[in-house]
Structures are given as C-alpha cells and as structure tokens.
Structure 1
Amino acid sequence: MLVNALIVVVTVVLMELFSIAAHKYVMHGFGWGWHRSHHEPRTGWFEKNDLYALVFAGIAIALIFYGTRGAHPLEWIGAGMTAYGFLYFVAHDGLVHRRWPFTWVPRRGYLKRLYQAHRMHHAVEGKDGAVSFGFLYAPPVAELKRRLHVLHQGAPRRPGRDAATGRPDAPASSADAR
C-alpha cells in the first residue's frame, strides 16, 4: 500500500510539471481556442477552457478502469491525476478565480503567493507575454514582477489592472500587493 500511495504522490507532482508545460505551450499555443475563454470575462457557469478538465478526467477514468482490470499500477496513476484535479479545482477555480459561492483572499504564506502569481498570469492581455504557468507551484512574486517588467517594457498591460492582484488598479501599498 505504501508503494501505491507513493505512486499517487509522485503522479500529483508530475502532473504539476506536465501542467506547467501544457499551460505554456499548448493552452497558450495551439490550444488557445479553448483556453482563450479563461482569459476573458466568464458569462456563465462554465467556459470553453473547462473542456481541458474533461479531457484529463477522461484519461484518469480510463487509467483507473484499466488499472483495476489488471494493468497495475495504472489505477494509482489515475488516482494521482484525480487528486491533482481536485487540488486544481480547489486552488485555481475556487481560490483564484472564485468559482465558488464564497470568496476568500489569502493574506500571507503559500496561498497568497499562489493567488498573486496566478493573478499576474492574467495581468496581460492575450496569449503572449504571460508569466507563471503553474497551477499549484508559484515562483516568487518579486521574480514574476521582474519578468513581467522585462517582457512588457513600455507595452500596455491589461488596462486598469494591478499586475500583482489582477484587480482594478490597487495602490502598490494595498494588502494584496504586499
């Protein structure tokens, strides 16, 4: 059972690494047609970008199905993908994008850094020039601000938005920007 638990944990870590690459090169590349909806104001409960979650859920279900029919350890890899999907739903869809019926903005620690990093990802318009492609890993905010500045020297950012929070122009001394 310890080996199976290790497979689940390693899969969660590998899914984050895979997701960083997929987000940067697929979603902000040839897959922009689905992902664009995520960078635009949502008009309903769902967005076209949610199709990515359905694809990965389908893969996880298939792995669990074949793993439980003798192709071990596929079921544990599928379970790790499912655990990653749950963490993504909680951190990304819930915390950052507020797709839950309640809101909470973290004021310190890892969750604040994750929140700020993803808001900086959305601080630019379009698919090019974004930073921070992880969903559970967030580089240091100061590094992301530096990269945004280098990438966009003189270029407009999303109008009226604070780069650190993604909110309407917040003063640099606000609690979210610190």
Structure 2
Amino acid sequence: MQIFLGILIFLGIFSIMEFMAWFTHKYVMHGFLWKLHADHHHKDHKSWFERNDAFFIFYAIVSMTCFYLWSYENVWYCLPIALGILAYGIAYFTVHDIFIHQRFKIFRNANNWYAKGVRRAHKMHHKHIGKEDGECFGMLVVPFKYFKK
C-alpha cells in the first residue's frame, strides 16, 4: 500500500510542479524578480550561464531537503516528493534548456506535432522581451492553439 501511495504522491507532485512552473514564471519571474529573469528574454552578456539559471536553486533546495528528511529523519513520504520535484526538474531542463533553447545541440531534428507546438508557444512567449505582456504557460501543458498541423 505504501508503494502505491508513494507512486500517487510522485505523480501528484510532478503534476503540481507544472502549476508551480507557470505560477513562478508569471508572478515571480515576470514579477518582483524580473531582474534575474530578464536576461533570459534579452541576452545582455556573452556567458553560457544566465542570471535566470538561479531559479532552479530554490526547487533543488526543496528537493534536497525532502531527500534529507527521508534519509535521516525517516519521513517516508518525502522520498516520492523529492523524486517528483527532481523528475520535473529533469523534464523541464530537457524540454526548455536542451530542446527549445538548444543549450546543448541535441534534439534539433524533432519535428512531431508536440515538438512543433512547444517550440511555437515558447517562441510567442519570447516575442515579448519586456516584463509585461508575455503569455505564460507551463512546460508540458501549453495552450492547444499552438498545436497546428
């Protein structure tokens, strides 16, 4: 029973992270921490790293704290929480940083309907280089209007 509950917690946390990505992007990155996120929309430096990369640290700390609580404090449900946050972080990095922004030159030839829709939606978001008016959405769930044949 605990394994089944752990799988449900993992899937729930992974899904909640999609909401958290949308919420953080809309209200934090395009809100009071725009100064950290701005270089993601308008690169003003030559470094491979962006100030925007600092945002992953918050969720990494939450995940690491859950791993600690599971490992040293024997809080069993912290393991599926930590793994759900970690899995979403890996998925986000793969889709956003590797596939869309090509920070590593792989997945360049992916041209199925989902890949095209995600690219189109992200391109529309990056069309706005300012803090305002950028449509915000999650990483895995993007508005259906971007999936054209």
Mapped contact 1:114–1:138 kept (Cα < 8 A): yes
Q: 2:49 is matched with which residue?
A: 46
Name the SS for the 1:49 alignment partner. helix
Q: 2:67 aligns with which of 64, 67, 78?
A: 64
1:130 and 2:117 are equivalent in the alignment: no
Mapped contact 1:16–1:136 kept (Cα < 8 A): yes
Q: 1:95 is matched with which residue?
A: 99
Mapped contact 2:69–2:78 kept (Cα < 8 A): yes
1:23 and 2:5 are equivalent in the alignment: no
For structure 1, the residue ranges without an aligned partner over 5 or more in a row are 144-176
TM-score (norm 1): 0.75
Q: 2:120 is matched with which residue?
A: 116
Structure 1: 4+ residue segments shifted above 6 A: none
Q: 1:35 is matched with which residue?
A: 37
Q: Return the letter of the residue paired with 1:31.
A: L
TM-score (norm 2): 0.88
1:98–1:120 distance in 2 versus 1, CA, 3 Å: same
Q: 1:81 aligns with which of 78, 82, 85?
A: 85
Mapped contact 1:64–1:76 kept (Cα < 8 A): no
Larger helix share, 1 or 2: 2
Whole-angstrom distance in 1 between the partners of 2:10 and 2:124: 30
Q: 2:10 aligns with which of 8, 13, 29?
A: 8
Mapped contact 2:118–2:146 kept (Cα < 8 A): no
| Bigger relative contact order, structure 1 or 2 (CA pairs below 8 A, ≥6 apart) | 2
Mapped contact 1:117–1:132 kept (Cα < 8 A): no
Q: CA deviation at 1:79?
A: 0.8
Name the SS for the 1:132 alignment partner. coil
What is the root-mean-square deviation of aligned Cα atoms in Å?
Answer: 1.9
Whole-angstrom distance in 1 between the partners of 2:111 and 2:48: 27
Mapped contact 1:122–1:130 kept (Cα < 8 A): yes
Q: CA deviation at 1:59?
A: 1.2
* Identity level (%): 32
Aligned pair count reads 145
Q: From the CA coordinates, give the structure whose radius of gyration is larger.
A: 1
